[in-house]
Amino acid sequence: MMTIRIIPCLDVDEGRVVKGIKFSELRDAGDPVALARRYQEQNADELVFLDIGASHQSRETMLSIVEQVSQQVFIPLTVGGGIRSVEDMRRALQAGADKVAVCSAALRDPQLLAEGAARFGAQCIVLSIDAKRTENGWHAYTHGGRRDSGRDVLAWAREAEALGAGEILLNSIDMDGTQAGYDLELTRRVAEAVNIPVIASGGAGTLPQIRDAVAQGKADAVLLASLLHYGEFTVNDIKSYLADNQVEVRWSSHQSI
């Protein structure tokens, strides 16, 4: 039986994790390498690094961070933000990423998904969708959620699967940062539309909301940022709660459920 994955997301700008960190015991709280190690110790199932910096230098710094993390942290790493070409994918994978997430660039050129899958395998291509409710269903947005591409999210998810995406990272722009819970309807609709795993993102504020993303939203994994970075919950807190609520999660071998 497959377990539900808890995936901390580190938004990195010019080499620093942003969105705020409250781990007082970390000397350098915004250090992505230290945070990655912390989350591995807490039984995080994977890690996602999103480069939100705009500059070329920020991209280079990100690759160096991934290189360092991959020498010390032995769980899967996904890198996203600014991946625009097969060459960008190759460099991220070469640095130590196991998967790459593409968003705007794939909407501009869907063949990027097919080319990446052919070259590196579908399992390393994650399609990131920034979804926002409109009068005509959900639309996929680009440029960090600022521009409407006009693409219907469900159609886009299905097309991406056909092209070779191995997984969908589904972020609700409407819920992001609200801590009011995931967009369950969006998550469920996308999860039912495709046969590849769906990672729910955006809106988590409480433990029951995380359970709902799985139980009602049919998500295979949940992405978390602020909730973890601010130290409100650890990954283990979330896993304990889910295990108590009939959701199977992974523990390291010395722990019992």
164 binds another protein (CB under 8 A): no
55 binds another protein (CB under 8 A): no
Q: Choose the binding region for another protein from 56-64, 89-97, 171-179, 232-240 (rule: CB under 8 A).
A: 89-97
Q: Pick from 9, 34, 124, 214 the residue near another protein by CB under 8 A.
A: 124
Nearer to another protein, 114 or 196 (CB): 196
Q: Pick from 94, 111, 178, 216 the residue near another protein by CB under 8 A.
A: 94
**6 φ, ψ to 5°?**
-105, 115
39 binds another protein (CB under 8 A): no
Sign of the CA dihedral with 20 first, then 24, 25, and 27 last:
positive
Q: Pick from 24, 136, 195, 246 the residue near another protein by CB under 8 A.
A: 195
Q: Pick from 50, 93, 102, 103 the residue near another protein by CB under 8 A.
A: 93
Q: What are the C-alpha distances in Å from 152 to residues 102, 111, 131, 139, 160?
A: 17, 18, 9, 5, 12
88 binds another protein (CB under 8 A): no
The verdict on whether 11 is a catalytic residue reads: yes
Classify residue 221 by its DSSP letter: E
> How far, in Å, CA of 148 to CA of 102, rounded?
16
Encoded amino acid at 33, one letter: V
Q: Pick from 97, 170, 204, 213 the residue near another protein by CB under 8 A.
A: 97
Burial environment of residue 195 by CB neighbours within 10 A (0 to 12, 13 to 18, 19 or more): exposed
Exactly one of 31, 130, 176, 183 is catalytic; name it: 130
253 binds another protein (CB under 8 A): yes
Query: Residue 73 CB, nearest distance to another protein (Å)?
Result: 9
H or E element at residue 207: helix 207-215
- Give the other-Cβ count within 10 Å of 101's Cβ: 26
The verdict on whether 130 is a catalytic residue reads: yes
Burial environment of residue 112 by CB neighbours within 10 A (0 to 12, 13 to 18, 19 or more): buried
Give contact residues for another protein (rule: CB under 8 A): 1-5, 40, 43, 45, 70-72, 74-76, 93-94, 96-98, 118-124, 166-167, 195-197, 220-221, 250-253
